[in-house]
Chain A
């Protein structure tokens, strides 16, 4: 199953890793320029007094990356109902869809971790723990939004009935809004464990779409 997912998504994965890493790198470049021009003291000052986090360019990047991954992974399955081939494999349907989603979730997580490593690798050299952790924690809900976007987009694409698909899309938009309620840095800190659990709890929604596909809902 993973082989199929790899064949299907490999070029997009390359693009996804390069572009998200590129955005993370660009954020660091901005930080580096400010340090070079105005000194590290200025950076610390604006971070403390003006809520600057230097990662704001990343805000919607994981969201778009997760959304596109779901499209690249699941739209070909729905093309001419190709999903029938996948569900005809001699493996339980629950295993099939869990493996497909597991692949996508793993990719999103690896991409997120890579981005965080890139950010941390520079920030921890020039910023105090409190400041770089504030930056990363500010970005964390956006990365969770990327994971949620992936799961919700998969839920919507796999839904066989177009009316229900519109409904799923609207629900998805409302759910995604949760991750962008506040722009204040680190405002989600106390809520992050619950938001993480909530995000992973979106996964079983896809089983509903598969069950409906199997029942022939159109």
Chain B
């Protein structure tokens, strides 16, 4: 499948602080890819590099085959960008902002898509964006992206500041649009439940590296939480890279892994974990999977 986004060997530092090194990933055409990571792992940095507002120390990012740093300006017609916090021109009203953007996207602008979404907001057409709630602003930003009708959507923390109703409205509208029109999406969000409803593929980042990049369903089917009873006071000292974040609280021991139960049991026994009774295996939702891979701390 053709890649819409291709980032190769990205390395970036803020001063002397390493954000990540040698990061590579691709986003195939027609897929919704969610970038998950704890605060400070480089999600917004990645979005900034992708949208051309940050020059990485090394590495290259290509969108539609063109290097972002030297991209033909007209190619930005094919990219919809949602900035963290649903930032829009505060000094404009609903009508003015539509009129402004429409001129930049001749032959592709869908005025009806914008006003269809605006009709759901209980605001007057002349209402200034500065006087809108964050939820209402998110709908304006989404409406503008739908009207732009881009081939690629880059969304930075789209759920920030939204109440559950607006988040659901945003996710449902976005998913409907993207799937019906075979669009590609690269997004981040700190609300993982939203990601679960929306994304096809996941990249889970830890400090300085990618922990995993897989289709969401594959993660949910293969990653399990394994638990067992252990003697009180036991402190796990495992160094197996495929057993994530082993922890014991009183008599309850747990560990996360993509490996099958038998394999995990064998490795735990080999590592000398004093299991009492059976090793239990649980399927996970995305939030549990995320915590399992990145740890609670």
16 example contacts (A-B, Cβ-Cβ < 8 A) are as follows A4-B100, A7-B92, A7-B96, A7-B100, A79-B90, A81-B53, A81-B87, A84-B53, A84-B83, A85-B83, A88-B51, A88-B81, A89-B76, A90-B75, A92-B73, A214-B52
Instruction: Let me know if A90 and B73 touch, CB within 8 A.
Output: yes
Determine if A85 and B89 form an interchain contact, defined as CB atoms under 8 angstroms apart. yes
| A194 within 8 Å of B (CB atoms) | no
Nearest A residue to B88 via CB reads: A85
Closest to A72 in B: B91
Q: Which of A4, A85, A216 contacts B54, CB < 8 Å? A: A216
Q: Could you tell me which B residues sit within 8 Å of A by CB distance?
A: 48, 51-55, 73-77, 79, 81, 83, 85, 87-92, 96, 99-100, 103-105
A84 touches B100 (CB 8 A): no
Bound Cα distance A87, B51 (Å)? 10
Q: Report if A191 contacts B (CB, 8 A).
A: no
A72 nearest CB across to chain B (Å):
9
Q: Which residues of A contact B (CB under 8 A)?
A: 3-4, 7-8, 76, 79-82, 84-85, 87-93, 213-216
Looking across the interface, which residue of chain A has its beta carbon closest to that of B80? A88
Q: How far is A159 from B278 in the complex, measured between Cα atoms in Å?
A: 62
Which of B75, B79, B81 is within 8 Å of A84, CB to CB?
Answer: B81
Query: Residues of B contacting A213 with CB < 8 Å?
Result: 53
Q: How far is the CA of A112 from the CA of B52 in the complex (A)?
A: 38
CA distance A90 to B80 in the complex (A): 11
Q: Given the interface contacts A80-B87, A81-B83, A216-B48, does A87 sit within 8 Å of B92 by beta carbon?
A: no
B53, A214: Cβ atoms closer than 8 Å = yes
Which residue in chain B gives the minimum CB-CB distance to A89?
Answer: B104
- A8-B91, A82-B89, A85-B88 in contact; A91/B53 too (CB < 8 A)? no
Measured in the bound complex, the distance between the Cα atoms of B79 and A194 in whole Å is 45
| Given A80-B87, A88-B81, A214-B55, 19 new contacts (CB under 8 A) | A3-B100, A3-B103, A4-B92, A4-B100, A7-B92, A79-B90, A82-B87, A82-B88, A82-B90, A84-B81, A85-B83, A85-B89, A88-B51, A91-B73, A91-B104, A213-B53, A215-B54, A216-B48, A216-B53
Task: Indicate if the CB atoms of B87 and A84 lie closer than 8 Å.
Answer: yes
Q: Are A7 and B54 in contact (CB under 8 A)?
A: no
A7: chain B residues at CB < 8 Å are 91-92, 96, 100
Mostly helix, strand, loop or mixed at chain B's interface? Answer: loop
A88 and B76 within 8 A (CB): yes
- Residues of A contacting B74 with CB < 8 Å? 90
Q: How many angstroms from the CA of A186 to the CA of B103 in the assembled complex?
A: 47
Bound: A93/B74 CA distance, A: 11
Bound-state Cα–Cα, A3 to B91, Å? 12
CA distance A92 to B52 in the complex (A): 13
- Considering residues B52, B55, B73, which has the most beta carbons from chain A within 10 angstroms of its beta carbon? B73
Q: Complex Cα distance A43/B232, Å?
A: 102
Q: Is the CB of A87 within 8 A of B90?
A: no
Q: Which residue of B lies closest to A94 (CB)?
A: B73
A76's closest neighbor in chain B, by CB?
Answer: B91
Please indicate the chain B residues that have their CB under 8 angstroms from the CB of A82 in the complex. Answer: 87-90
Q: What CA separation (Å) do A73 and B293 show in the bound complex?
A: 46
A8: chain B residues within 8 A (beta carbon): 89, 91
Determine how close the nearest CB of chain A comes to the CB of B278; give it in whole angstroms: 52
A84 close to B51 (CB less than 8 A): yes
Residues of A within 8 A of B76 (CB): 88-90
Residues of chain A with a CB closer than 8 A to B91's CB: 7-8, 76
Q: How far is the CA of A67 from the CA of B28 in the complex (A)?
A: 48
Complex CA gap A84/B83 in Å reads 8
Closest 6 CB pairs of A and B: A216-B54, A90-B77, A90-B76, A215-B55, A80-B87, A92-B73
Partner of A76, one of B53, B90, B105: B90
In the assembled complex, how far is the CB of residue B104 from the closest CB belonging to chain A, in whole angstroms? 5
For the complex, what is the distance from the CA of A88 to the CA of B63, rounded to whole Å? 14
What's the nearest-Cβ distance from chain A to residue B133, in Å? Answer: 15
In the complex the two chains form, what is the Cα distance from A85 to B92 in whole Å? 13
For B73, the closest partner residue in chain A by CB is A92
* Distance between B14 CB and nearest chain A CB, rounded to angstroms: 8
